[in-house]
Structure 1
Amino acid sequence: MMFVLIQRFCRHALFSLYENTWVVIVISIAMLYAGGWISMSAFNETDIIDNYTWWFSVTITTVGYGDYAPGSYGGRFTAGVIMFFGIGIIGLVVGKLAETIIEIANRKVKGFSHMNYENHTVIMGYRTGSTEKMITELLADNPEQKIVLCSLTQESNPMVKQKVDFIRGELASTDVLTRSNAAKARNIIIHGKDDDQTFFTAYALREINRQAHMVCCLMDEDHADKIKNLPADDPSLNQIVLPANIYLMAQELQDRESCSVVQNLISNLTGQNMYRLDIPKQEDFSVSYKSLFFALKEKYGVTVIAVKDKELEINPPLDMTIKPGMAVFYAGPERLSFIELDAIQ
């Protein structure tokens, strides 16, 4: 019985020491420092006392430059004690530092860290396979953008190799919204396990961020108005994506290979892709759709397929006037980084 009690006491003491390792290290160094100084003073080691802090540092770390060395037997014994305990203390320091670094790295992988990004992309929800493909598309268009993936179902970051940051927790919770810095995000994608989770997450996000472009994946088209009516600086910032494969299957049966056309346009990895061009409001610009269509085709090799004023118009009439503040959607091999609008008029 006594042995069991002693064993429990030792375990408890060791655990307490482990939990307070840094305190133990500081106290041990302080005691060695004070004890060594008193001992060296007692043995009249004048050179060491005059340079004690330096001598103590090189002795406890067992570096031992030898520029100051005790001459008395008592001084040498004291130096030996400091070196002996120094080996253990330095080992503890190195081990604790390594443990701290590993713990910090694990916290990031496990999704418990805090992001300080701004103008980044936040993805709420994870679905094996589809989320990876979506992130691959995003990085293909802009490899430098910062992406933060939030999920409750994943215990660790599923996309470490892609350098995507990870936050673990309930999507609509204040904790996740804060740690992902969603209030400063430029783009938000919500891919909840069902439409209820998607809507509640979108609602929580719009309470803290009305400037971001938010895209929500819904299973039921009847829920689309709930997302579109959420408060935003511009109604067009609230967008929904439906399970398009159902519509594409019907379209494919009616018009063979139409699926290939649509899938090519929405992929950033291969073929001709679709991009958006916003005409700045401050530009002195006015041109017909016909002139814009042929000018962009001849000068840049892209095809205008839609125009957005108050409403989106696919294949608009040739005499439609394109003005500042409107958006133009075009198909091309890559995004145009610069367009000379003056040369088009």
Structure 2
Amino acid sequence: MPLLLSRLLNRLTRRITWGLPAELLLFVFVTSWPLMAWAEPGERIVDPGVYWYWFIVTAATVGYGDYAPTTTEGYLVTVYVVVGGIVTITALFARIAQMIDKAKGLRMHGHGTLKVANHIVILGYTVGRTERIIDELVADEPRDVVICAWDDQAMEHPLAHREGVHFVRGNLTEDAVLGRAVLSEAVAVLVDARDDDEALKVTVAASHNRPDVHTVVALHDLAHARTISRIAATACCVPWHSIEFITEEVQDAGMSDVYNELMHHSDRNTYSIRVPSTLAGRTFGEFQRALGFWNAATILAVRTGAKPDISPSWSDEVQVGTTLYYIAKRRLRTEDLERYVDRAERALMFSERELLRSEWH
């Protein structure tokens, strides 16, 4: 018996529509008014201007008591109205619960259309790897990320517990699926496919759907980057194995070009030099100013102990024997470093003297 009632309730719940509560309420109103007129003839409660008010208050189970029946038959009609109101309210909340469950199901299974903007779309899902990518993307500031997975990659939202992470599932080469991920409002797209052939197909679809968005394609073999450029000229191809490289390019467009220029194609190179005893007591800022102004060089890091210090504060004092790592067109000798620091100091002193002579000082 309980099983039968449960099945009946589930069947009725599935058939509930938004119109059913209104239909129930209208039916009870239409049938209860003549009954109340028969039970309470001549009473004010059955007047058209009063009965609708009494009906709503009673059906809502509020019951102010300003109007009430006086006969047994009137009490029975009141019970009928109260029961009808409870059934109507139950049907209404059942419909709301049904709608919430449906929306939750669509979200969990990646079939719903998202409402996001200025987000990052990741096309492709790999257990563990995608989680690491998202951790890197949201490390500096919270942002919405949409995971788009093939049907065989994830059946349900893999990160449903994380706020700001959304899920879409389907054929990633179809415009309808990319539309549910709101690619039109994304600030960046990462194509993180299982192989380079899949990456090519997904890039074609993404470029067709949104050709102007910043697109990053993770490739297992960068030799395929030329093929990608033929169908998405602005897409940036990066090595699949370097998650840090990928996330930096997604967040800061052109970062991979900077790295490539530093490592392969630039007319500058990276060098190192030790600070001599003749330049003791100088700060990092003094060395940076000297090399930048007189040699168009940039100091990237210093090393005093076991690990280098990347871009230290300009006010930090650089000890004798510290190694300076810099980018320049040529390698500097110790005497070059001494000469540039001396020039920078004399130029600064000259500027201070000019400042003292100025009228506004």
TM-score (norm 1): 0.65
* Amino acid across the alignment from 1:86: G
In structure 1, the partner of 2:23 is 27
> Which runs of 5 or more residues in structure 2 are unaligned?
249-253, 258-291, 301-310, 317-323, 332-361
Distance change in 2, residues 1:267/1:99 (3 Å): closer
Q: Is the 8 A contact 1:289 1:317 kept in 2?
A: no
CA–CA distance in 2 between the matches of 1:162 and 1:14? 31
Distance change in 2, residues 1:101/1:217 (3 Å): same
Distance change in 2, residues 1:228/1:141 (3 Å): farther
In structure 1, the partner of 2:78 is 79
CA–CA distance in 2 between the matches of 1:264 and 1:122? 17
Counterparts of 1:17-166 in structure 2, within 5 Å, are 18-42=14-38, 43=40, 44-47=42-45, 49=47, 50-143=49-142, 145-152=143-150, 153-163=153-163, 164-166=165-167
CA–CA distance in 1 between the matches of 2:205 and 2:315? 42
Q: Is the 8 A contact 1:184 1:209 kept in 2?
A: no
CA–CA distance in 2 between the matches of 1:146 and 1:291? 40
1:167 and 2:163 aligned: no
TM-score (norm 2): 0.63
Distance change in 2, residues 1:91/1:20 (3 Å): closer
Once the two structures are overlaid, the 10-residue window that deviates more, 197-206 or 39-48, is 39-48
1:293 and 2:298 aligned: yes
Q: Is the 8 A contact 1:199 1:227 kept in 2?
A: yes
Question: 1:180 Cα shift?
Answer: 0.6
* Amino acid across the alignment from 2:21: I
> Which runs of 5 or more residues in structure 1 are unaligned?
1-6, 245-262, 269-274, 279-286, 307-314, 320-345
Distance change in 2, residues 1:59/1:198 (3 Å): same
Q: Deviations over 1:57-112 (max 9, x none)?
A: 22123222222111233322211111123223322222222222122122212212
Paired residue secondary structure (1:51):
helix
Distance change in 2, residues 1:96/1:74 (3 Å): same
Once the two structures are overlaid, the 10-residue window that deviates more, 109-118 or 43-52, is 43-52
CA–CA distance in 2 between the matches of 1:289 and 1:149? 49
Once the two structures are overlaid, the 10-residue window that deviates more, 126-135 or 203-212, is 203-212
Q: Is the 8 A contact 1:215 1:241 kept in 2?
A: no
CA–CA distance in 2 between the matches of 1:178 and 1:208? 8
In structure 2, the partner of 1:317 is 329
Q: Deviations over 1:110-160 (max 9, x none)?
A: 2122123222100011000111111101110322x1111111221111112
- State how many pairs are aligned: 264
Counterparts of 1:298-309 in structure 2, within 5 Å, are 299=314
CA–CA distance in 1 between the matches of 2:222 and 2:237? 12
In structure 2, the partner of 1:211 is 212
Distance change in 2, residues 1:112/1:316 (3 Å): farther
Q: Is the 8 A contact 1:186 1:211 kept in 2?
A: no
Distance change in 2, residues 1:198/1:138 (3 Å): same
* Amino acid across the alignment from 1:190: V
